[in-house]
Chains A and B, each alone.
Chain A
Amino acid sequence: MTAVVPPEGFEHEAMFYRGDADFLAGLLPFIRGGLERDEAVLVAEPRPRLDLLRDALGDDAGAVEFLDMAEIGGNPARIIGMWAQVLEQHSEAGRRLRGVGEPAFVGRRTAELAECRLHELLLNHAFDAGPGWRLLCPYDQEHLPRAVTQGALRTHPVRSTSESRLPSTGYAPGRHMDAFGEQLPARGDAVLRGGYGPGDIAATRRTVAQWARSCGLPEDRVEVLELAASELATNSIRHGGGGGTVAMWLDESAAVLEFSDAGTLSDPLIGRLRPPHDQEGGQGLYLVNQLCDLVQLRSSDQGTTVRVITWF
């Protein structure tokens, strides 16, 4: 094995595996290596992989913290905030962190995989300048779409398998702003659409709540979307030129709500990291990310779009 990144920095590595045995052959040495150095080790994997790892680790499993990636990373925009909190907590205690995170697991929907790609790019931006730690992201080379595994080469500075570890030549730093500014896929059919301005916050959230109810969503989801609508409309009114447009539609698996305005967000991590208590901005977006199934945020000098997806 070659050390490809100075050990002081953030090492973000994609580990490609084929099958359970290969998955374990790649991960067990990584995890045990961390435990041997007395590093804090946290594993975020979907449930079946979590169980597989826990069993294989045997007695060592007790020293490892496990999180269900399907839960904490259901909306990938929540994952960076989770790592940032864990990193802060262990850095304060003087311990190095070693993480395993598989956000792009098999079975995820196309829109979720798109958000995983943006998330992986933003990880570098979020942690490159901070304290050193290692994050290994397993990718299932057998079952994921080829575009996803190929994409991982461009989002991780290091690529590895159970047998080799190399710099990823497809990776270049600083591409996250391009990804953050990309257009989202076209809207579905039968779009309901309307504009809002100052004074329309209450009307906007009532319209959204009514639509959500008419889609047959349960009341707790309706309440969350009503809150999301209020926060996103407020953001447009305050920062997006005084107003914007809201669009609502259904596709075969989800109710989709989209807010657009003419504003530009300069910080691509907005809503991903928990804002400080004394900061007014970013609180609503952070909350929307935490409460909603999937949030797709894109911003460029062409404007800002937030798509909130609620799965049926």
Chain B
Amino acid sequence: MAPLSGRQSAAYLVTVRAHGLLDHVPGAEPADHLCWVYEDDGIFDDAAAEFLAGGLARGERVLCVGERVIEGLRTPGALPRDLTELLAEGSVETLTLAEAYEAAGRFLPERQLAYYDAATRRALDAGYSGLRVIAEVSDLAADPAQRADLVRWEHLADDYATHGPGFSAMCAYRAELGTDALADVASVHPMVHAPAEVTPFRLFAEADRLVLAGSLDASNSDRLTNALAATVGTGGDVVLDLSALEFIDVGACRVIARWAAGLAERSVTVQVTGASGLLRRMWQILELDRVAAVGFAEARA
């Protein structure tokens, strides 16, 4: 990255995570957190293999979770090297969903985090540069009773990918889960491969802030309410970056204000960056500062 000027501030050097809507598997980067929605098993197998190869090339251990992923490994030519060899040396590990339940206990976001944190540290201790997870967890998303926990886990995972010692993940979901379930889980990933109607917005963590990207309107304001409620509180004040927002309506502004008001009750202040001029006018006209005292700062350079 070329220096912008002689007096470059530290802020310019912060790594910005890759985010956006995907049509292919991007090159492996630290802190990757992809949501991959698929219809065709074969196409998913190819994507998983590519994600896996990217991790191996970076010197990471790759953990494959779920029967679909494990089966895909056995496709001839799927891997750069022999599977038996990779499994024997520990570069690739597998975990069926049944084993995963057994290992981490009943699905609870905190237990999941503890499990993956331990697995990441084991990989680092064994000399790998990190842990890359490929998980097919459609069965969890299919159960409406578990979905709120799953969304909260995705937030924890996203936060751990950003702030943890070397964790990255591809979370795969079958398209037949339907738009509702898929949108719930897809909207909490920075990178998404899914039909357009599934991903009008994304909410994810950056090193020092939460990022809200895409389009927010009445069709997804309930989902936004849930996604914001599931975000990980780090204790300090929260910076919400809206510079990648394409559209926001009145209802979504009110959702953000109510979320900020809830945080204010716990003495957490929300600082908004990258808000458009129109959003600021809306905030002023609707007197949303009376709902929650939110600070507005200029967009990051």
Contacts and interface: CB of A to CB of B under 8 A. Distances in A.
Interface of A: 199, 201-202, 205, 220, 223-224, 226-227, 230-231, 234, 237-238, 274, 277, 280, 283-284, 286-287, 290-291
B114 interface: no
Nearest to A290: B285
Contacts of A224: 278
B219 interface: yes
Given A277-B291, A284-B250, A199 B218 contact: no
Classify the secondary structure of A's interface with B: helix
Given A202-B219, A224-B278, A291 B285 contact: yes
Contact of A287 (B215, B219, B282, B291): B282
A180 B200 CA distance: 37
A246 B83 CA distance: 59
A202 B286 contact: no
Given A201-B219, A220-B277, A220-B278, A230 B285 contact: no
Contact of A201 (B217, B250, B278, B286): B217
B287 A230 contact: no
- Give the 8 A-B CB pairs with smallest separation, nearest first: A234-B218, A290-B285, A230-B249, A283-B250, A284-B250, A201-B217, A223-B278, A277-B291
Given A201-B218, A220-B278, A283 B247 contact: no
A265 B86 CA distance: 68
Interface residues of B, number: 21
B218 A238 contact: yes
A286 B291 CA distance: 17
Contacts of B285: 286-287, 290-291
B290 interface: yes
B242 to A, nearest CB: 14
Contacts of B282: 227, 287
B19 to A, nearest CB: 20
Contacts of B281: 291
Nearest to B261: A277
Nearest to B282: A287
8 contacts: A202-B215, A223-B276, A227-B282, A230-B218, A230-B249, A231-B250, A277-B290, A287-B250
B254 interface: yes
Given A202-B215, A231-B250, A277-B291, 20 more contacts: A199-B219, A202-B200, A205-B217, A205-B247, A220-B277, A224-B278, A230-B218, A230-B247, A231-B249, A234-B218, A274-B287, A280-B251, A283-B250, A283-B251, A283-B254, A284-B250, A286-B285, A287-B250, A287-B286, A290-B285
Interface string B103-134: 00000000000000000000000000000000
Contacts of A227: 247, 249, 278, 282
Contacts of B217: 201-202, 205, 230, 234
Contacts of A231: 249-250
A50 B207 CA distance: 54
B230 to A, nearest CB: 22
Given A223-B278, A231-B250, A283-B254, A277 B287 contact: yes
Interface string B267-286: 00000000011100110011
Contacts of A283: 250-251, 254, 286
B280 to A, nearest CB: 12
Contacts of B286: 274, 283, 286-287
Contacts of A230: 217-218, 247, 249
A291 B282 CA distance: 9
Interface in B190-218: 200, 215, 217-218
A118 to B, nearest CB: 22
B277 A226 contact: no
A273 to B, nearest CB: 13
A220 B281 CA distance: 12
Contacts of A201: 217-219
